[in-house]
Amino acid sequence: MTIFLFTIRRCFRNIMNIILLCVLPFIVILMPNEEWTLLPLGFQLYGVVLFFAAARITSIIMEDRTKGVLMRIGVAPVTHLQYLWQNLLAYSLILIVQIVVVIAGGILYGHDLINPFLLLVVYVLFALTAIGFSLAWFSLFRHKETAFVVLMSSIMLMTMAGGMIWSVELMPELLQRLAMLFPTYWLAESLIIVATQADPTELAVPFVVLLLFTAAFLVIGSKRRLS
Amino acid sequence: MEPKKYEVWTPVTCTFIWRSLAILLLCIFWLFSDDSEAGVLLLLFLATISLMRWRIEMPAWTTIFDQVGCFIIAIFWPGAWFALAVPIFETMLKGKPWFILLSFLFLFMESQYSLVLLTVLCSAAVTGMAIYNWSQDVEAYKKEADRERRQRFELETFKRELLLANVQTAKVAELAERNRISKSLHDHVGHELTGAILALQAFEQLWKEDDPQAEQVFLKAKERFSESSRHLRETVRNMKPIHAMGLESFQGIGEQFNKCPVDWEIHGDTSKIPVYLWGILEPCLKEALTNVAHHTEATQVKVSLDISESIIRLSIFNDGVLRSANGNGIGLRNLRQRAESVGGSLSASVLRERFQLVCVLPLENDEKRLSET
């Protein structure tokens, strides 16, 4: 588990990572309750924070690849699978802890989270999808800076198109259907189901879709690339 | 080695393109149909399983999952029948068409006889089958190429061993011949000469004593001398080869060549060259002259043979090279191997329509050779 522990430490070495992982969650908690949102505003936007945080910490794998660490690991007595799953476990654990802290903090702060447990599951599943997406994204690029900049723009587009910043119903019919092909839509959909206290079985489809997205992204991202 | 242009289009690339196109077209089809969530589920499921097929080798029976997925989603979204193209393609790609019977059974049961649908499914099946046959062919060609490469390698090894054995045989034959000559001289000439010397000594003694037997002994000694002389002549005659060897035969090759004049430059003692090296020098000259006759419009050929203490250098030069020659023809390659088998080298170079062939062979000293054997 050396790689796992080391990855956790590496995630907190960067000032930007510390802000994303430790400071932003508190801003999320402290954001005010708005009348026009189903959930407190911070929790409505928390998905975007999660997506950025996942992209930021997953870039460690890309850094390893560009700096030749993966090449050295290739000759070490560690398989690529071990390296990959220990890294992914570390990222997931950090994000899950963050989600737990945010939800617990939200309850303590006095927000009405309606069903905190279901909310936790929704965020955890989305965090996994975000990690998978970032992993797949970085596996397609050669330069970290390019990959990161394009990824940031794509995340913004996806959050806007997916209905995390405004309601999907405001968009044209075709775009509404197109939004369904993004994982962000399914996060927004799940949040609506949780917030409106609908039948929890309705969450099955968004959950399955999020899991399928995760699986597809992991299949792409787990391909071993050394350069 | 750089891949050729058409080598980019491998069965693997085409399969990847087909899968991507199929998923993309299904996405567009879904986008313009009036379905909500079920289609997304099916698209994602098919995309995931296609990606898995891209990453790992999955058996043909796994296409049953895709087919069942399509049947279930078809209840909510009729467009899912078109998605059957994916599992049908994958089944045909594995060369196991019987797995698509399930699809056709369901199509029949659900009375899906739309011409467009059947066309799409059939074209997917045909494409899958074509790519499967193509990949089988590629595999067969690869195996064939590997086998041929191995056989060529074995033949070359065998040839090298034969050439080495040839040189060794020549050396052993020479030693055996020396042995025979020394034995013949010892057994016949030596024996008769010793007898003659003894008879002469006896004659000297008898002659001093004025013995009447002296004359008889003298005649015997004379007879023994003539006998030894005869043996010596016979041994020498047996040694002489029937065919001309060495420089004589070497220059004979040049004299037979009548396309253009051949200039000779020979330095050093040609008698130092052992017979197995003449066996390489002669084919070198023959090959060079044949090449001159076939591929050039030469006006002169210069042959120079230098024999030093430790090497022999044969250089054949000609002008008027017509076509580009790279010195890698079969004839030259064989000669190079023969030269290498005795520790020498052969090089060919073309410069401004002039061709030069240089063969360098190491010359072993007799003492060294004898000590080695």
Give B15-40 pLDDT, tens digit per residue. Answer: 999 999 999 999 999 988 877 788 88
**Residue-averaged pLDDT of chain B:** 85
Q: What per-residue string of b and e applies to B261-294 under the rule 16 or more CB within 10 Å gives b?
A: ebeeeeebebeebbebbbebbbbbbbbbbebbee
What are A142-183's pLDDT values in tens digits?
888 888 889 989 998 888 888 777 777 788 888 888 888 899
Domain map of chain B by residue range? 5-113, 162-239, 247-372
Collapsing DSSP states into helix, strand and coil, what is residue A114? coil
Query: Is pLDDT larger for residue B53 or for residue B250?
Result: B53
**Residue-level pLDDT at B2:** 57
Is pLDDT at B373 greater than 70 in this prediction?
no
pLDDT single digits (tens) B179-214: 888 887 888 788 888 888 888 888 888 888 888 888
Residues on chain B touching A219 (C-beta within 8 angstroms): 48, 51-52, 54-55
pLDDT band at A32 (very low <50, low <70, confident <90, very high): confident
Instruction: Report whether pLDDT(A34) > 80.
Output: no
For the record, the structure tokens of A169 come out as 């119903």
Chain A residues lying within 8 Å of B57, measured CB to CB: none
pLDDT at position B5, please?
Answer: 65
Mean pLDDT of B139-149: 96
Is A212 near chain B, with CB under 8 Å? Answer: yes
Rounded average pLDDT over B117-143: 94
Query: Tokens standing for B92?
Result: 């045909």
Q: Under 8 Å CB-to-CB from A6, ≥6 apart: which residues?
A: none
Do A219 and B52 form a contact (C-beta atoms < 8 A)?
yes
Q: Which residues pair with B350 in a beta bridge?
A: B355
B244: confidence class by pLDDT, cuts 50, 70, 90: low
Q: How far apart are CA A41 and CA A28, in angstroms?
A: 8
Q: How many other C-beta atoms can be found within 10 angstroms of the C-beta atom of residue B89? A: 27
Mutate to test the interface with B, among A182, A203, A209, A219 (most CBs of B within 10 A): A219
Q: How many helices (H) and strands (E) does chain A have?
A: 11, 0
Contact of A90 with A7, CB cutoff 8 Å:
yes
pLDDT at site A101: 92
- Whether ipTM tops 0.90, in short, is no
pLDDT value, residue B133:
95
Q: What average pLDDT is seen over chain A? A: 88
Mutation for testing the A interface, residue in B29, B32, B51 having most A CBs under 10 Å: B51
What integer is the mean pLDDT of A85-101? 93
The CATH number of B247-372 is 3.30.565.10
- Give the model's pLDDT for residue B372: 54
pTM: predicted TM-score of the whole model, two decimal places: 0.69
CB contact under 8 A, B44 and A205: no
Q: How far is A190 from chain B (nearest CA, A)?
A: 13
Say yes or no for a CB contact (<8 Å) between A174 and B27: no
What residue of B is the nearest CA neighbor of A224?
B55
